[in-house]
Amino acid sequence: MKRIPIVHFCILLLAPFAQPELTVAGDPPSDFTRHHFQVARSPINNKIQPDRAVHADLSTFAGEAWILPIRSSLLSPGQITSRALNMPGLRPFFLVGEDPHSLAWLRQRADKLQEMGAAGLAVEVADTEALGRIRAAAPGITILPVNGNDIATRLQIDHYPVLITATSLEQ
């Protein structure tokens, strides 16, 4: 008579308890699991979640030092030629860097930028101190560090600072 190794014996013993079918993460819940999900899920903060997207202030989420430095190789400080755009629904935003030209541009236009609700993207930032100087030039305006290469390619721009609205691209 042959001896069955202990591992094979355990597999045979546990085989009846194996799941009969594969469950894929994207499958809709079955009648069995639907009940469990409805009971287990509770609203966040005991509030009903809104039907629209909520924008978080990422600048306070987990600190920004991990994302710095930001370098946008396709952009540099310099002059741009203003031109018309046709991008209905686009919220105004601007691109800046830590260079003196960008900081002066921000200081001069801070009130106008805040009035129009423009958000800022810092596309050249070495460290948290530089980001602090950029934000200090336009207090009250959200400015986040972001690589601007994709924006530069899509809008065919080479330089910053620049203000982008639904109807124009201007400095």
Query: Among 101, 98, 100, 118, which Cα is nearest to 110's?
Result: 118
Return the pLDDT at 40.
47
Cα–Cα distance, 76 to 71 (Å, whole number):
10
Peptide bond into 69 cis (omega under 30): yes
Query: Over the stretch 52-100, which tens digit does the pLDDT of each residue have?
Result: 555 555 555 557 788 899 999 999 999 999 999 999 999 999 999 999 9
Q: How far is CA 63 from CA 18, 60, 68, 72, 144, in A?
A: 45, 6, 10, 21, 11
- What digits encode the pLDDT tens for the residues 93-135? 999 999 999 999 999 999 999 999 999 999 999 999 999 999 9
Domain map of the chain by residue range?
6-44, 58-170
Distance CA 112, CA 136 (A): 16
Bridge partners of 160, per DSSP, are 77
Residues 75, 95 contacting (CB under 8 angstroms): yes
Higher per-residue confidence, 121 vs 43: 121
Calculate the average pLDDT of the chain: 80
As to burial, measured by CB atoms within 10 angstroms (0-12 exposed, 13-18 middle, 19+ buried), residue 133 is middle
Give yes or no for residue 24 having a pLDDT over 90.
no
Q: Which residues contact 109 (CB under 8 A, 6 or more apart)?
A: 138, 163
Region 58-170: CATH code = 3.40.30
User: Which structure tokens are listed for 42?
Assistant: 């509770």
Q: What is the percent of the chain where pLDDT is above 70?
A: 64
